[in-house]
Structure 1
Amino acid sequence: MLDTSETGGPAVRRRWFALLLRDRFACAAAVVLVLVALRHPGAAPGRRSGDRSESARSGPSSLQSPHEFSGGQRQRIKIAWALTLGPEVIVCDEPVSAPDLSVQAQVLNLLCDLRDELGLSYVFISHDVSLVWHLADRVAVMYLGEIVESGPTEEVYERPRHPYTEALLSAAPSPAAGRGPRRQRIVLTGELPSPTDPPSGCRFRTRRPRVRDLCAETVPAPPPGTPLHGAACHFPLEEASAA
């Protein structure tokens, strides 16, 4: 991630970062947002100028009212609005959650094209394992609000080291994204703990089949940062299988 603590404060952060939220109606709630995003895509300050990739590939006509937009049009409005400040990083919260699969594919392809054309980086938040496989260079898996595994996407998908990651991948269509290894379905047992009152030690220990005393006594170290692959687990899967 970019460290903007010494490069201008909030004003710089607003230019470097943009949000692409799940709620497609939030960006189309007022006509003025649509007009600004579509009529003046390059007017806002930023290091890039121009038409912001034709305002996210020519969204709806600015004469339309927000309630008249289709799901795909709202998605493109949202993307165009996120691009107006010329950000370096866009945080995407379930950006392709539309029920129509054709709309999902269009939005995903548009995000990939914009990434290549504008040099963007995405923080892509999703529950769809196949989409993450398709888009991400690195992946971080979260459980109860904490990252339990991170690493290059190919390594995490092919050789998961945390048991939660393994169970998560086993629930995805097999093989995930058409390229991953086939896996036997793993069904987690036990009650999901409360994030506000997690178990002692490892948060996942109440749902892991094989637990040792250390799991309840000590919080595992967080996974290493880029470019390494690791897991917040006292007994990662590869080491556990070797033992």
Structure 2
Amino acid sequence: MEVSELIESAEALLLDFDGPVCSVFAGHPANIVADKIRNFLASQEVPVSPSVMGTSDPMLLLRWVGSHHPTLVVLVEDILCAEEATAVLSATPTPYGHEVIRLADQSGRQVAIVSNNSAAAIMKYLAMHKLNNHVSRVIGRAYAEPHRMKPNPDSVISATKATNTAPNACVFVGDTATDIHAGQAAGVRTIGYAKREDRGPTLAEAGADTIISNMSDLLPGLMRKNDRNT
């Protein structure tokens, strides 16, 4: 299905946050956050597995703690939430990401953010950029339950219920294979946002219904309301 056709038929637009909306850790790098988590684990005399020792992804560390040291997951979650709240202060908006949110709302579609980032950080960013009134729902990371992060479909399912929209009437835009897998499992249609050229094949292999390279590719479809939104 063509991008414009997919978007035009959507009653609700679901967006991942880090990627389609902004680059969360642009000014407060993810590797610094990961190091803070590792330093905390070291202070607790927790040996970190080689599989995550060198990662720059704090989400991966949170998942690892949830699986291997669940008694510490709340403390690590709190560290990550605080760091994300700092990171959004210097997050870089994705080109045309804000315009997509505004136009989707103006067209009568509901907009929901569905993210592995914390809801508090997302809402802080939306308020800073005067987007909060254009977003119907924010579904962030389930607190201290990293097993529920995407690719688990829980957050996408919650977004369809929160917007009172049938899954097949929703379109979910994400930039990772985990987004696409979560969307598929929830029964929604998916658009892969390949912000880098090398992301395209990965998103295609994950099974995205279609792939875009720029968020502006969504604008033409949003400019046309479907019959259910008029």
- Compute the TM-score of the two structures, normalised by the length of structure 1: 0.27
Give the number of the structure whose residues are more often helix, by fraction.
2
Higher RCO, Cα 8 Å, sep 6+: 2
